[in-house]
Structures are given as C-alpha cells and as structure tokens.
Chain A
C-alpha cells in the first residue's frame, strides 16, 4: 500500500503524458476510419468523445489496479484477460450509449453496427499496450525499490561490521594495565599517576577513532607508541620496541586503528612464545603508491603452530581490508628463521 504514496508527482505527470499520447493516437485512428462513412461533425465528436472517455476510464482502472496489485504468476494471461474484458465492455457501452443518442439516424446506426469488430480490435490493442506498459513499469519500479532496500541493508551491515572490527580493544590489556597501576600506587605513586595518564590518553584516542574511518599514519603511530609504552611498564626490560617511518609516509592515510590489533598480535606472540627479551619492530615506507607497513616479532619455530597462529587479530584486519578495498591480498605474513613478519599494504588513492 505504501508504495503508491511514494510515487508522488512524477507518477502523475508520466501518467497524464501517457494518456495524452494514447488518446491522441486513438482519436486519429478513429476519425481516420469514420471519415469514410460521411458522418456529421456532431456524430464524429460524440463518437470520439465517448470512446476516448471509455478508454481513459479503462486506463485509469488498469493503472490503479496494477499499482496495488501486481500479479506474480501468469502475469501475461492476467493482462490478456483484463484487456479482453475491458475492451469488450467498452465496445458494449459505447455502442449502447451512442445508439441511445442517435437511434433515429439510420445511417449512423448502420455504421455503428458494422464497425463494432473494428472498434473492438483497435481498443483491444490499445488497452493491451497500456496494460503491458504499466505492468513493466510497475515491475521495474518494484525491482528498483527492492534493490534499494537490499543495497541499504548491505551498507548498514557493512558499516556495523566495520565499526565492530575497529573497536576491539583487548580486555586483557586493560585489566593487566590496571593491575600494574594498582601495584605502582603503593611503591611508586608518581609512576602510577604517569601510567594512568598514558592509559587515559590511549583510551581517549581509541574512543575518538571509533567513529572515524581514516587517519594519518602519524596519528596512528602516536597511539601505537602510547600502547607500547604502557606494555613496557608491564613487561619491563623484556620488551623492546622500534618504530621507523619515513617522513613521506607519515602524512599518508590509513584505516584508523588498523595497526593496533597487528601490534597486539606481535606482542602476544613475541612475549608468550619465548622467555627471552623481545624486540617488536614496526617499519613504514611508501612503495609503488602503497603505504607499506611491516611489523616484526620473534617467535619460536619449534613450538608455535605452523600458520595456525593467524588468530583473531589478523583475520579481523584481513576482513576490514576486504570491506574497505574489496581485496584479499593486502595482508600477508612471512617467517624468517626466528622472526615473524606481518606486512600490510594500504592503497593510496
């Protein structure tokens, strides 16, 4: 029902235009035929008027009918039946009414009865045409609406998914950091205060970026540094970090918070896969119109499961890249002896 409301002005303008065209054609054909019968002007006008009126009535009926009810199956039989019925009805009414008007005019009634079959043929063709056109038009309209709805729901789902993928802060990190702060408050309150500030700044950055799709590398790296500083308080000398980015790479854009899960992953693997000191290295360069970022962490080839360790961090990044760029080849991992390398490419448009 609601679809009729949404058609609006456009619908009426095209409806009237179509009607004008059909009426015009019909009038020409009708007068063309009747001309040969030597009829008076009154008779011609009355005949054309009544027939046009009936045709218009049929058109309005068909269009309104299709507007609220579009047959799903056997639609062409439906059109045929309706056209047949309506043209028959029209011919009947026009004949009866015209006969009533001109029943004393023998010549005219003669013409009337002899042209019945012809009239029916023409009306039938025109009404079928109208029905088919409106059927197609409404079907197309419905299709368009459906596509719009589909596109809308897909876009919404995509946005929701991207939002979810952006905000995946590890609860472990938060709770462990709070525990470190709790430990520091007793012995080194100054350090505790400093860590609270770092943590707040990091969280603020993360929250801010929640509704922001893109960011510069420079800003992203600032947040990564904050994160790493906090982790260093937790793990002490065991964790070493190195961030190298070329000056040209810093202003480039990348999806916000994309690097965070990769760095978290590197730390998790680095720190939990070995008991030695761990160096996490992040490098960013420009390469062939791509921003290329490599993140390295040590791992133990003997005990870590081969390639099974992609984990949630990597798969969520992969998914995000796919949703944004429709490509699956932007993230890959490689291993060099005891170093695990995650490489990510961000196309620069």
Chain B
C-alpha cells in the first residue's frame, strides 16, 4: 500500500484529488491537511511516499514547508498559476498540475511518479531556485516542534554551522539546513552583507567597525555581538555602507 498526503487549504481542491485517486486501489490517502503546519506534522507522522501540495497556503507556503523537511517525499504540485513554478518544475519536480486539471492529466502525473519515483531527490535545487527568484522577505524555521516565521528585518546575523546555518534573532538562534551561499544571494537586496566566509550580517545594526590584527576588522552590533570581518568582506561592507 502506498501512502499519500494531500495538502491544500481548499477542501474542494482536496476532494478532487481524492476523487481522482479512487481507482488506484494500492494508493491510500492517509491524511488531508489544511495548511503547511498540519502538513508538516502529518508528513513526520506518516512518512508518505508522495504528497500533493498546493503552493499558496496560509502562513507558510508549500515551498517553505518543504524547506523544513529533512528528506522530503516525492511531490506533485497542484497550483492555480505560478510562472516560477512552471519553469522550474518542468525539469525537476515529479510533476505539477495546473488547476483545474483533468483526470487524464492527473493520471499522467501518477504514471510519471510510478515510473521514476526517485525524481523527487532533485527537489532541493528546485526549491532553492524558486525561493531565490522570488525576493525573500522571511525565513521559516523549525523551533523544536513549532514552526517559526522570522521576518527578514528581525534577523541580526547568520552564522555558518557545518551543514546548517545559525540564524540569530532577538528571540534566540535557530538552525536551518541551508547553505551560506543561498542566503548570501537571496538576502542581498535587504541590506545584508557577507562580511566573512561564515557570517552574513544585517547592516542596519552595525554600530562600529574596529581595526583588528593586521588585515582584519571587527564589527560591533548594537546588540553587543562582535563579528570578524575578512578582507573581501570589508570591501563589500564599505560598498554597502557607502564609506
């Protein structure tokens, strides 16, 4: 028996997926979720092979939900219209269904999944390109069992931590499985500066830049934090601050 979960904030949209799945006797809908939070919980609980995921949902969207899952299941997106998605999915996701979709189109998507279920492995780069192309104005992180949405303005700085990054805010620090390069690129528009291989800082909070040792500088934030600045980081910093 194959387990699937349907995540969509509209019950009629879920019901049509369920209806189309009826003829597949070996597929079982183990959960239906109204939003990303429920979706996340259900995915951890049931570990489904495949999920049907809407993009536009309350609080956290479909992409943000996927970001929070270590090993996302195969995904078939169901969305009304999303030019970013269409471009990216064409190569990477199992499939995307544009609402309203026909039974034939739906069956094709299922066939596609059954033939190459492993296509979902390459989903991570898809999510990255999509979140990168849409300017990021918030970061979604997992805080224990809770999900926290951090508006970009509240981020003080980001520190590299092996495979993870540490996001430091006034409410504490949060780990997220993501690369420094990703944030370096997606936050560039928001007055964030990569001052060091391991640090990206919110330039709004800088109070002082001190000379430190021979080539380096030391940055003082108004929160009291001290961060090292590399030589190239200092050049970028000067450019952003206009000094």
A binds B: yes
Q: Distance (Å) between the CB of B64 and the closest chain A CB?
A: 11
The 5 lowest CB-CB distance pairs between A and B, nearest first, are A179-B99, A183-B16, A175-B80, A179-B100, A183-B12
Supposing A175-B81, A303-B59, A303-B151 touch, asked if A181 and B100 sit within 8 A by C-beta, the answer is: yes
CB pair A175–B137 under 8 Å, yes or no, is: no
The tally of CB-CB contacts under 8 A between chains A and B is 75
CB of B27 within 8 Å of the partner chain: no
Instruction: State A34–B4 Cα separation when bound (angstroms).
Output: 116
Give every chain B residue within 8 A of A271 (Cβ-Cβ): 9, 58
CB pair A187–B149 under 8 Å, yes or no, is: no
CB pair A303–B138 under 8 Å, yes or no, is: yes
Q: Distance (Å) between the CB of A305 and the closest chain B CB?
A: 6
CB pair A184–B59 under 8 Å, yes or no, is: no
CB pair A186–B100 under 8 Å, yes or no, is: no
Instruction: State A19–B78 Cα separation when bound (angstroms).
Output: 82
Q: Distance (Å) between the CB of B14 and the closest chain A CB?
A: 8
Q: List 30 A-B contacts (CB under 8 A).
A: A171-B80, A171-B81, A172-B56, A172-B81, A175-B80, A176-B10, A176-B80, A176-B99, A179-B10, A179-B13, A179-B101, A181-B100, A182-B100, A183-B12, A183-B13, A183-B15, A184-B12, A234-B12, A271-B9, A271-B58, A272-B56, A272-B57, A273-B58, A273-B59, A274-B58, A275-B34, A275-B58, A275-B59, A302-B149, A303-B138
Instruction: Knowing that A183-B19, A235-B10 touch, tell me 6 more A-B residue pairs with CB under 8 angstroms.
Output: A171-B81, A179-B12, A236-B10, A271-B9, A275-B58, A303-B151
Give every chain A residue within 8 A of B226 (Cβ-Cβ): none
Q: What mask results when residues 218 to 248 of chain A are scored 1 for a CB within 8 Å of chain B, else 0?
A: 0000000000000001111010000000000
Interface residues of B (CB under 8 A from A): 9-13, 15-16, 19, 34-35, 37, 56-59, 80-81, 98-101, 137-138, 149, 151, 153
Nearest residue (CB) in B for A186 is: B19
Q: Distance (Å) between the CB of A280 and the closest chain B CB?
A: 15
CB of A9 within 8 Å of the partner chain: no
CB pair B57–A305 under 8 Å, yes or no, is: no
Give every chain A residue within 8 A of B59 (Cβ-Cβ): 272-275, 300, 303
Instruction: State A179–B98 Cα separation when bound (angstroms).
Output: 9
Select which of B11, B16, B99 is within 8 A of A175 by beta carbon: B99
Give every chain B residue within 8 A of A236 (Cβ-Cβ): 10-11
Instruction: State A308–B138 Cα separation when bound (angstroms).
Output: 12
Give every chain B residue within 8 A of A302 (Cβ-Cβ): 149
Within 8 A of B (CB), among A246-303: 271-275, 300, 302-303
Select which of A179, A275, A306 is within 8 A of B16 by beta carbon: A179
CB of A23 within 8 Å of the partner chain: no
Q: Distance (Å) between the CB of A11 and the closest chain B CB?
A: 57
Give every chain B residue within 8 A of A56 (Cβ-Cβ): none
Nearest residue (CB) in A for B36 is: A275
Instruction: State A186–B80 Cα separation when bound (angstroms).
Output: 20
Supposing A172-B81, A175-B81 touch, asked if A180 and B10 sit within 8 A by C-beta, the answer is: yes
CB pair A275–B80 under 8 Å, yes or no, is: no
Q: What mask results when residues 159 to 190 of chain A are scored 1 for a CB within 8 Å of chain B, else 0?
A: 00000000000011001101111111011000
Q: Distance (Å) between the CB of B203 and the closest chain A CB?
A: 18
Nearest residue (CB) in A for B10 is: A234
Nearest residue (CB) in A for B18 is: A183
Instruction: State A235–B58 Cα separation when bound (angstroms).
Output: 11
Q: Distance (Å) between the CB of B81 and the closest chain A CB?
A: 5
Instruction: State A274–B98 Cα separation when bound (angstroms).
Output: 25
Give every chain B residue within 8 A of A179 (Cβ-Cβ): 10, 12-13, 16, 80, 99-101
